[in-house]
Amino acid sequence: MERTISEMTLSELRRLIGEVVEEKLTELGVDSDAGLELRPDLRRRLERDLQRVAGGERGERLEDVVDRLGLA
C-alpha cells in the first residue's frame, strides 16, 4: 500500500529526499566526492593495503572467487 507524503514522518521524508537527490546526481554523473582529499592516515592505510595485495599477503584473485562461489 502506498502512502502519501502527508502520512510520512519527517525522518522518512528526509530519507526519501536524500535518495532522490542521490539518484539524480548519479544519473547526471556527478561525483559527490570530487575535490575532497583523503586524510593522511587513511591514505597511508590504503597504500599499505595495496602493497599487501600486490605482495600476495592479502586479497584473492577475482577468478578464484568466481570459481569458489560458482558464479561462472
| Cβ atoms of residues 13 and 5 within 8 Å | yes
Q: Is residue 49 part of a domain?
A: yes
Asked whether residue 50 is domain-assigned, the answer is yes
For 3-51, what is each residue's pLDDT tens digit? Answer: 898 999 999 999 999 999 988 988 888 887 888 899 999 999 999 999 9
pTM score of the predicted model: 0.43
Instruction: Name every residue whose Cβ is closer than 8 Å to that of residue 59 and which is 6 or more positions away in sequence.
Output: 52, 53
Does a structural domain hold residue 30?
A: no
Residue type, 31: D
Structural domain containing residue 58: 39-72
Domain assignment of residue 70, yes or no: yes
Q: 48 burial class (0-12, 13-18, 19+ CB within 10 angstroms)?
A: exposed
pLDDT of residue 1: 66
- Name the residue among 48, 65, 46, 69 with its Cα closest to residue 57: 48
Number of domains within the chain: 1
